Amino acid sequence: MHKVLVSRCLLGERVRFDGNSKGPLAMLDAWRREGRVVPVCPEVAGGLPVPRPPAEIPGGQGALVLDGVRRVLARTGADVTDAFLAGARAALALVETHGIRVAVLKARSPSCGNRQTYDGTFRGHLVAGEGVAAALLERHGVKVFSEEELEAAAAELAALDAADRCLGAAIRGTPHP
């Protein structure tokens, strides 16, 4: 049974910048009961407090933050790039420790967003791009989904579990299901 990295805010933990959560979500609760869930909040893991000023990436590209081309800025103007990078590395360490290949992270977050993030103007404008942690995980082969893609994440986990069952059967020399 494969484990899945999940944003703590989606599990009902009050770790978002505003001190709130975005969960819990039923499917994630089911995965938690199965022992699949490894929780993470990259921003808190990187040393940021709860609550904290909102942060955005000018241009919205977490990969460019990893490459040292962009910074992550709080609405106050503070540069919080180092905390975002530390949090991304903490998420990657969990992935490596637990052999995780799938993550469900908070949509549109400057850490966790997998398809869109805010553009750095703090005006609510979205751009195509990923958060810092999501970009680092994707670079290391993790398939990152948002809470809006739970069915696709569940299908990916099921495929990984099925492949493991087939491999196990092949190793044992028995027919696989």
**How many domains does one find in the chain?**
1
> Do the domain assignments include residue 160?
no
3-state secondary structure of 103: strand
Mean pLDDT, range 10-19, rounded to an integer:
95
> Do the domain assignments include residue 45?
yes
> Do the domain assignments include residue 156?
no
> Do the domain assignments include residue 28?
yes
Q: What is the model's pLDDT at position 23?
A: 82
Contacts of 28 (CB under 8 A, 6+ apart): 6, 10, 11, 37, 104, 147, 150
> Do the domain assignments include residue 158?
no
> Do the domain assignments include residue 167?
no
Residue type, 164: D
More confident residue, 174 or 34: 34
pLDDT tens digits along 23-34? 888 999 999 999
Q: Which of 46, 37, 57, 59 is nearest to 15 (CA)?
A: 46
User: Is pLDDT at 44 greater than 60 in this prediction?
Assistant: yes
> Do the domain assignments include residue 81?
yes
pLDDT tens digits along 100-122? 999 999 999 999 999 999 999 99
Q: Label residue 124 exposed, middle or buried (CB < 10 Å: 0-12, 13-18, 19+).
A: exposed
> Do the domain assignments include residue 171?
no
Domain with 82 in it? 4-150
Q: How would residue 60 be classed by pLDDT, with cut points 50, 70 and 90?
A: confident
